[in-house]
Structures are given as structure tokens and as C-alpha cells.
Structure 1
Amino acid sequence: MNPTTRLVITASTLILLGACGAPPATTTKAPTTALPPSSAINPADAARNEAVAVYLKMWSVFFSAGSTSDWQSPTLGQHAVGTALNKLTDGLRRDRDRGVVTKGEPTHDTSVSSMEPPVDPKKVVVRDCSDSSNALKYRADNGERVGNTPGGRQRIDAIVEKQPDGVWKVSDFGVHEVGSCD
């Protein structure tokens, strides 16, 4: 007997017992988990969380594409648009032209420095103190490290904007020199 059949028999048995004068069966209703009304969700908190998440995803996708200097990776446009997307693809293209790949990923220490407008933001500025010590350039042909710069902590400021379709994307960013956030 399958579970659906058992349920039907159980329900039928309860109905028959009720019809024969048996005491009514007591049932307990499972608690419901209701979502808060949409007005209860704080748009500023939602924007802050989404902007930081998209910013971090952008860098993750960029460094993944950097492992082969794939400047045409379709994943780059999932989290970046406009000037930010151009900076990402241009950097990867330059690396490919020089025969350079990136190994590793930096770490991030992000915060939100501003949101516009403050109540229901459409633009969020993310500040990051990224450490590039574990994301370095290597020659693609022989694996030798390029240069002797050890990487390090550097400030990054990024603009993350809600697009007309409601999706958040990084629209611009500026990476400062190593040592800029110490």
C-alpha cells in the first residue's frame, strides 16, 4: 500500500467513526510559518546585503576567469556592468596578451560607506580592504611568477547600483595602491 492510499483509508476511517457516533477526533494544526509582510523588510538592509554580496561575487568570477585570463568569460557580466565590466575585461585582455594568468584569490574586508537614497537605496558604495597577497600573476607558459611584488592590503571603492530590471550590479570601482588601507 502506498502512502497516499494509507492517507485516504485513514481519512475515510475517521469520517466513518464520526458518522457512527464516536467521539470527534482531535486534530492539532501544524504551526504556520508566515513570511513577514513586504513592508516589514527593511529596504536599506536588503540593499546593503545585496550590494556587498554582488561585489564579492564579481571579484570571485573575475579571479576565476583570471586563472586563464579569459577576458570573454560570460560570467563577468553577471555581476558587473558599464565601467566596472570594461575594467575587468580590459585587465584580463592585457594579461592574456602578455601571457599572464592569476593564481589564487584575494581576501576581502568590506563595509558600506554610503547608500542613496538612504531609505530605499538604488546606489550603494562598498569600501573594501582587500588583501592580494594570495592572488599573484604568473606566466602562463612556464608558471614563473611575474615580478616580485608580494601583493598586500589595498583599498577598493566600488559603486553598486540597482539596475532597471531590479538586479544589483557593480557599475564602477577603483583599486588603490598596496598599503592604502593599512
Structure 2
Amino acid sequence: MFEEFVRGAVQADRYLTAENVPYALNSNARSIRDGRWKADATSDIDIVAIRPARSGARRVLAINCKGGREELNIERDLARLDAANPHQTVAGGNVVTGFRELTEPDWACAFRQRVHAVTGQTEFTHVLAVKRIVGDRTRWSTHAPFLRLTPNLLLWDLQDLLEMANRPTARVFGNSPTRHLVDLIAAA
């Protein structure tokens, strides 16, 4: 449901979207050769969005949705990702597999290549959409290990998504259950 809500908000902001875009490691990836990942390991980008009339990194968005019950606690979760403890979660996602495109060079490369293959663009913004953020969100988007792998990062929470969906210039949600959900969340 959260992913559908994010998709609706992005579409209301005049982006065209593709959902659950699969990608995999390159067959010659170092992490496959050294046994960290299996050759058949795959992942997906929850939403790839393109706004044809826009230029720059915000023209294309590669969005990962973490709609679990757990909030994104910036300080705690950055420490968890840096430690790479497989028994911990970040915003409801597994530390090792849920954020590998931000923490593993081979996965980041595969992620970038897939965005390029789908959109024709090499410059894009990687967005993490969560229900709630605790802490200074700029710490996420300026976290040095992430920036080494992807230079343009954004965090969105429910409030950001509601603002996108309710802008005066936003298109009306075509999906009436999503529009109803936007109205319910805005009223809460």
C-alpha cells in the first residue's frame, strides 16, 4: 500500500513511472567472484520515475520504498548500516539486503546501469521513501559512504509525499483508493 501511495504522489507531481524494475549484479562483479553474493542474486527498484520536461538530476528519480512500521532514525540507522550487522533493520528493511545499492559498490553499479537502461539518463536522484524520519535528514543525504556510490540522495516521509500530492499544480490521482488514502492521511 505504501509503494502505491508513493507512486501516486510521484505521478501527481507529473512523473511517469515504472514499478518493480528488476536488476542484478554484473556477472563479472567482484562480490560474486569473492563469494559475498551469489551469481543469481537480484533486486528491484520500487519506482523509477521520469519527468520529461525537467532537466538535471531531478528529471529521473529512482525510489526505494520502506513502508514498514519502523521509522528511519538517522543516527541509529546510519550506524547500523556502517556496521552491516545482518541481524539489524533500518526502516523495517534488512541492513545487508535492504540498502545494498547505497553500501555495496557492485550493487550501486548495477543500480545505476539499470536506471540508465530504463531512462537513458546517467544523472538521477536516488530517493528513499519512508513513513517517518527522526533526526537530521541532511545527515543521510551527505553520508560520505553513500555519496561515493551515488551523488544525489533525497529522503521523503509521509509529509513530503502529501505535499507533492496536494500541490495546486498536481494532477488528480487517477486511482480513487489512492486519492482516498491521501485524503485520510491529510486529515489525520
Determine which structure has greater relative contact order: mean sequence separation of CA pairs < 8 Å that are 6+ residues apart, divided by chain length.
2
When normalised by structure 1's length, the TM-score is: 0.26
Larger Rg: 1
